Structure 1
Amino acid sequence: MELTDKLLKPIRETAYLTAENARRYRVILRYFYLQYEKIKYWMEQDEIHRELSSHPEFSDYTIDQCRQDLDALVHWGNLLTMQDTKRVTSIEAFKNRQYRYQLAEYSVEIERMTIRLEKLFVEGASLEPTLLEKIRIELSKIFEISEKSPLEVYGWWNSLNNDFIRLNQNYQDYMRDLNSARAEELMKTAQFLMYKDKLIEYLRSFVKGLQMNVGVIEEIMKRITPPVLELIFQKTVEYELSIPRLDMEPDREELYERTKGRFTSMEEWFMETAGVPSEASRLFDMTNESIRRITRYATQISEQFTSGANRKEEYRKLCETFLACSDLKEAHCLSAVVFGVERPMHLKGNFEKTTDSINAGIYEEPPCILEIAPRIREYKERAERSFIRDYSAEKEQARKEEMEKQEREQFMMDSFLKNGEIHFDKLPVLEKSARNILLRWLARALEGDGLGKTGDGRVYHVENPQTKERCIVNCQDGSFEMPAFVLRFEEEKEL
């Protein structure tokens, strides 16, 4: 950044915005600006006084106050003056100096800025996926545009930059409003539910526009070569220098750096550079996070309305519906609808876990009985005496059952072993437990270096881990396709 005299000195022309009589100064300059837009550049003191005194807020406004206000604005440089000598008929009238006033150039721009500030929250910002599409279309013309005249290149460059500036400003303003404290409070009200779906659909359409255009824009930018960019920059600067200017002559180096910097900013917006994520990816994440936040707030509001409802009748009707099922398969289908991902319903209780197996189904678990206490203040739970229970008999019974289960599985696995090998393409119809054991052995060997060990210490390895031959393994509960692996055991002894 270069520090110039204009940058370091204060701007006196903005003093009227915060001065003691700012309400009068601002009205005067706004009237000047409105007349300026109508191409009426010069006005007299009587016109200003007549306009202000016509409003109830300035009913007591005097001609002397008007003269003082105009002098102050002339002193700050907001108004330019010219003495009106056409209607002077005496020396006394000439000494009174009847002036005509004109709005200074700085004041025109300051008034335009104040009007934009006044309309900032009225107009609001928006997310326009069409801007992304326009940028994509314009950027795809860069190769043919680079061969055109400086006038055509300059027009194309201005159009591309204007779309990019609008996109950048609009998304920042919209996200600022969406994440403001005021929006946070609105999302917590019941009225928010009325336009929640519309807002989410609006954000999703913008996300869709990002997904469709940003990747294409990134690919186009990767294909742009430095000679093409240099040609674009030089022709743009050449045309800007050819524009006749009365006040000052622009510097070529400054124009070139500004043009190059704008394209670099565009690249950083759409492309990842040096491991730093692009602004488009950040916008994508922010938009998705806003959708999740809106959905979360809407869910919380809905739960507030239903949290106090008595669900006793709902549970009773649910139980009656399950009892009316003709068989277990129909009950499974009903359970998928009631407890599935489409309409999740969670029942909480002190469930006793009977197995740690990952292959056990939920319908194989024993039922959990929930005792519902009445909703009365006088109700108290009955106190029961607790005692230490002896579980030795249950443990011994469980141990015996586990040993018998292992023996049955051992006998079954012996029947699969032929000449120290198990061929998956030659297996008979498998029970569920046998299938789980074989797949567990296979996974253990494939995860390591091809070797595995059974529970009784028997070492085996996969004979053909890279095989592309397929086979069908039939089981009692279905069939599945897999590679035709072969497990070879090192010793010829029973498992």
Structure 2
Amino acid sequence: MEVNEKLYRPITEVNYLRAENADRYRAIMRFFYHEHERIRYWLYKEDVYEEMKEQRRFADYTMEQCQNDLQALNEWGNLTAHQDTSKASTIQEFKNKRYRYQLSEYSVAIERMTIELEQMEIEGASLQPTLLERIRQQLEKFEQQLTASPQDAHGWWQLLSDDFLRLNKDYQDYIRTLNSARAEELMKSREFLVFKDQLIMYLRSFVRRLQEQGLIIEGLLKNIEEPVREALFDKIVRYELSIPRLGETLRYEQVQEAYEGKWKSLYDWFVGENGENEVDRLYGITNDIIRRITRYALQIGEFHHQGSNRREEYRHIADMFGKCKDLQQAHCFSAQVFGCESILHLQSDVARESDSIYQGVYEEKGEVSILEPRARVARKKSIRKRAQDHSLEQQILQMEIFAKQEEQQRQVEALIQNGKIVFSRLPELDEDLRKVLLGWISRAMGNSDHRSRNDQGKTYQVRKEKEGECSVVFSDGTLVMPCLEIVFEEEGVE
């Protein structure tokens, strides 16, 4: 990217698009632009004032407001003011400085942009296969441009680049329109079914022409040799530089880089790199849109038929079943109407009288099943029962818990020797005792002095008996741990 001072300059000419009185400024600028297109470049403030007064929105517009608006547009660079002294017959008229106003070049370009933005939704985008054919025809004339005049070669290049830019812009705008939220909402409506087939036909026609012309264009681009293309571009660039321009100086490298960039974009669009190009990508995107349109149309149809009243259809099918001669004919008719995929299967746990796989369901003995209603209104009546007294079971369970705790306490006291429990000397213990002892250790190690109280209120301290590790055998395994001991302190002794 070439960076110059123009890139950093603020564009004050667009201020009128977002200023406080943007409605008045835009109306004035649009009036100047229309007159500019009619080759009426210079306008007086009286012309602007009369045009604004004709607009219903600006019925209260005054000459003072018009003068202020023109002055503001002049300060922003949108208008160029020139004092008209040709009709000044007195000194007073000369001092009043009657001005004429003209659009600047920036303002002309800005107004063209705003008109294009306003007409985007009106014109809409489209996929034009004719652009592909025109690009193919221009590329077929590539070798002729080597012997043509620089002016004709330059015109050929302008037609080719304009068609390619139009193709790229139109396809991006059209695909963006089909992928928009508005299009998604429209595709899910019933009104979409009216032109669904027409849209799919339009897309498929473009894809077919894209495949045909895209392969031809790809072959033409691959056959163009690099030295030949550089020689042609050198002739086109030199002609571009020979065109006289006021206040603008173009450099050879600048124009050549712009042309090379356009050619590379054209080459990548149809040929690409590593087998990936924009043609294949557009082909995949279009097919995805067609599949999405078809899926939405199918969903709309299913939803429409889902809510329809099919009473007459069911009655007609019931009459046809009633006209069957025997049960076997009714079985055949059922297979034709319902089929095997949508058949209703009922499963039961009743014991069969025979395990034969060839025995039909009509040969089995019938089974009666009581079905509970699933509706919210028809609920099964609840039966109230008297509350039962479980106090005896609770007392028995409480006694068992107390007995277990007393037994556990006796086992713990049996492990205390000389007021302490030494883990390296413990016999084999059960799982409950392991949980008690390790719980005591965990509770004490959480304090800074390694002291705590057990459930019986006895104070103890966890100490290290000796260096190293010891193995304590439990009923569910062996625990390897440091050589610790739990020392119980006598009451009243710190």
Shared topology, TM-score over 0.5?
A: yes
3-state DSSP of counterpart to 2:88: coil
Q: Does 1:187 pair with 2:187?
A: yes
Q: Please give the residue correspondences for 1:117-266 in structure 2 after superposition, counting only pairs within 5 Å.
A: 117-266=117-266
Task: Give 2:299's aligned residue.
Answer: 300
1:278 shift after superposition: 0.7
- Aligned residues of 1:43 and 1:101 also touching (Cα < 8 A): yes
3-state DSSP of counterpart to 1:80: strand
3-state DSSP of counterpart to 2:153: helix
Q: Does 1:78 pair with 2:73?
A: no
User: In the aligned structure 1, how far is the partner of 2:137 from the partner of 2:360?
Assistant: 63
Q: Does 1:347 pair with 2:352?
A: no
Which whole-Å deviations, capped at 9, do the CAs of 1:110-157 have from their partners, x for residues lacking one?
A: 111111111111000000111111111211221232232222211111
Q: Which moved more, 1:118-127 or 1:254-263?
A: 254-263
3-state DSSP of counterpart to 2:147: coil
Task: Give 2:108's aligned residue.
Answer: 108
Letter paired with 2:279? A
Alpha-carbon spacing, 1:152–1:345, altered in 2? closer, same or farther (3 Å): farther
Q: Does 1:286 pair with 2:285?
A: yes
Which whole-Å deviations, capped at 9, do the CAs of 1:421-452 have from their partners, x for residues lacking one?
A: xxxxxxxxxxxxxxxxxxxxxxxxxxxxxxxx
Letter paired with 1:175? I
Task: Give 1:475's aligned residue.
Answer: none
1:379 shift after superposition: 10
User: In the aligned structure 2, how far is the partner of 1:187 from the partner of 1:45?
Assistant: 52
3-state DSSP of counterpart to 2:72: helix
Alpha-carbon spacing, 1:58–1:274, altered in 2? closer, same or farther (3 Å): same
- Aligned residues of 1:83 and 1:99 also touching (Cα < 8 A): yes
Task: Give 1:95's aligned residue.
Answer: 95
User: In the aligned structure 1, how far is the partner of 2:360 from the partner of 2:311?
Assistant: 19
User: In the aligned structure 1, how far is the partner of 2:317 from the partner of 2:163?
Assistant: 57
Higher Cα radius of gyration: 2
User: In the aligned structure 2, how far is the partner of 1:209 from the partner of 1:314?
Assistant: 46
Task: Give 2:426's aligned residue.
Answer: none
User: In the aligned structure 1, how far is the partner of 2:72 from the partner of 2:134?
Assistant: 48
Alpha-carbon spacing, 1:285–1:348, altered in 2? closer, same or farther (3 Å): farther
User: In the aligned structure 2, how far is the partner of 1:235 from the partner of 1:368?
Assistant: 89
User: In the aligned structure 1, how far is the partner of 2:345 from the partner of 2:262?
Assistant: 63
3-state DSSP of counterpart to 1:101: strand
User: In the aligned structure 2, how far is the partner of 1:345 from the partner of 1:290?
Assistant: 34
3-state DSSP of counterpart to 2:100: strand
Percent of residue pairs bearing the same amino acid type: 48
1:197 shift after superposition: 0.7
3-state DSSP of counterpart to 1:146: helix
1:311 shift after superposition: 5.7
User: In the aligned structure 2, how far is the partner of 1:163 from the partner of 1:367?
Assistant: 72
Task: Give 1:55's aligned residue.
Answer: 55
Alpha-carbon spacing, 1:131–1:345, altered in 2? closer, same or farther (3 Å): farther
Alpha-carbon spacing, 1:2–1:367, altered in 2? closer, same or farther (3 Å): farther
1:350 shift after superposition: 4.2
Task: Give 1:45's aligned residue.
Answer: 45
Alpha-carbon spacing, 1:290–1:252, altered in 2? closer, same or farther (3 Å): same
Which whole-Å deviations, capped at 9, do the CAs of 1:156-204 have from their partners, x for residues lacking one?
A: 1111111100000000000111100011111111111111111111111
User: In the aligned structure 2, how far is the partner of 1:65 from the partner of 1:198?
Assistant: 53
Alpha-carbon spacing, 1:317–1:367, altered in 2? closer, same or farther (3 Å): farther
User: In the aligned structure 1, how far is the partner of 2:340 from the partner of 2:214?
Assistant: 39
- Aligned residues of 1:84 and 1:98 also touching (Cα < 8 A): yes
Letter paired with 2:283? F
- Aligned residues of 1:349 and 1:368 also touching (Cα < 8 A): no
3-state DSSP of counterpart to 1:142: coil
- Aligned residues of 1:350 and 1:368 also touching (Cα < 8 A): no
Which whole-Å deviations, capped at 9, do the CAs of 1:269-310 have from their partners, x for residues lacking one?
A: 1113035x2111111111000000111111111111111346
User: In the aligned structure 2, how far is the partner of 1:366 from the partner of 1:108?
Assistant: 90
Alpha-carbon spacing, 1:288–1:75, altered in 2? closer, same or farther (3 Å): same
Task: Give 2:14's aligned residue.
Answer: 14
- Aligned residues of 1:271 and 1:278 also touching (Cα < 8 A): yes
User: In the aligned structure 1, how far is the partner of 2:346 from the partner of 2:170?
Assistant: 53
Letter paired with 1:210? L
RMSD: 3.3
3-state DSSP of counterpart to 1:230: helix
- Aligned residues of 1:351 and 1:368 also touching (Cα < 8 A): no
User: In the aligned structure 2, how far is the partner of 1:60 from the partner of 1:190?
Assistant: 48
Letter paired with 2:299? Q
User: In the aligned structure 2, how far is the partner of 1:366 from the partner of 1:167?
Assistant: 69
3-state DSSP of counterpart to 1:107: helix
User: In the aligned structure 2, how far is the partner of 1:160 from the partner of 1:366?
Assistant: 78
User: In the aligned structure 2, how far is the partner of 1:138 from the partner of 1:316?
Assistant: 67
User: In the aligned structure 2, how far is the partner of 1:310 from the partner of 1:57?
Assistant: 55
1:351 shift after superposition: 10
1:17 shift after superposition: 0.6
Q: Please give the residue correspondences for 1:320-469 in structure 2 after superposition, counting only pairs within 5 Å.
A: 346-350=341-345
Task: Give 2:399's aligned residue.
Answer: none
1:90 shift after superposition: 2.8
1:105 shift after superposition: 1.2
1:88 shift after superposition: 2.0
1:86 shift after superposition: 2.3
User: In the aligned structure 2, how far is the partner of 1:306 from the partner of 1:289?
Assistant: 26
Task: Give 1:435's aligned residue.
Answer: none
1:91 shift after superposition: 2.5
Alpha-carbon spacing, 1:318–1:267, altered in 2? closer, same or farther (3 Å): farther
1:314 shift after superposition: 5.2
User: In the aligned structure 2, how far is the partner of 1:368 from the partner of 1:188?
Assistant: 44
Alpha-carbon spacing, 1:42–1:310, altered in 2? closer, same or farther (3 Å): closer
The answer for unaligned runs of 5 or more in structure 1 is: 353-364, 381-495
The answer for unaligned runs of 5 or more in structure 2 is: 348-357, 380-494
1:229 shift after superposition: 1.1
